[in-house]
């Protein structure tokens, strides 16, 4: 392999890491169709659309319907939001109605402080 090929490979790998770093993978664990669960889903979706538009995957998991997933993630309270990408993994447990609290948990800044 020539030196140019090595630089190209390194540049492509760096670009792939950068693209992956900008993508958020989230799982929201809720308990059925309760008011609290509905509010949590709406709040997280709103935050994602405002701050991560086009850069996130959000999976909503009802722990009553899929208890095996809750066990595998060691979910002890709901709602719980887990950010698996970008690293580090983070968990936000309980009330998700505070935008600032969720943003801090996700490692983001509110728009007015940028």
Q: Which residue has the higher pLDDT, 69 or 112?
A: 69
pLDDT at 101 (0 to 100): 95
pLDDT tens column, 73-87: 999 999 999 999 999
DSSP assignment of 10-74 = HHHHHHHHHHHHT-EEEEEEE-TT-HHHHHHHHHHHHHHHHHSTTSEEEEEEETTT-HHHHHHTT
More confident residue, 110 or 113: 110
- All structural domains of the chain with their residue ranges: 24-108
Task: Assign domain 24-108 one CATH number from 3.90.870.30, 3.40.50.720, 3.40.30.10, 1.20.120.1200.
Answer: 3.40.30.10
Instruction: Identify the pLDDT of residue 22.
Output: 85
Query: Tens digits of per-residue pLDDT, 7-56?
Result: 666 655 554 555 455 899 999 999 999 999 999 999 999 999 999 999 99
């Amino acid at each position: 392999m020539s030196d140019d090929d090595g630089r190209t490979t390194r540049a492509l790998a760096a670009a792939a890491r950068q693209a992956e770093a900008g993508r958020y993978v989230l799982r929201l664990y809720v308990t059925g169709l309760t008011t609290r669960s509905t509010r949590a889903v709406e709040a997280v979706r709103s935050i994602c659309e405002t701050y991560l538009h086009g850069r996130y995957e959000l999976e909503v998991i009802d722990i009553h319907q899929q208890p095996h997933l809750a066990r595998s993630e060691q979910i002890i309270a709901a709602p719980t939001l887990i950010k698996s990408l970008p690293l580090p993994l983070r968990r936000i447990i309980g009330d998700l109605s505070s935008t600032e609290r969720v943003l801090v948990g996700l490692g983001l800044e509110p728009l007015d402080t940028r």
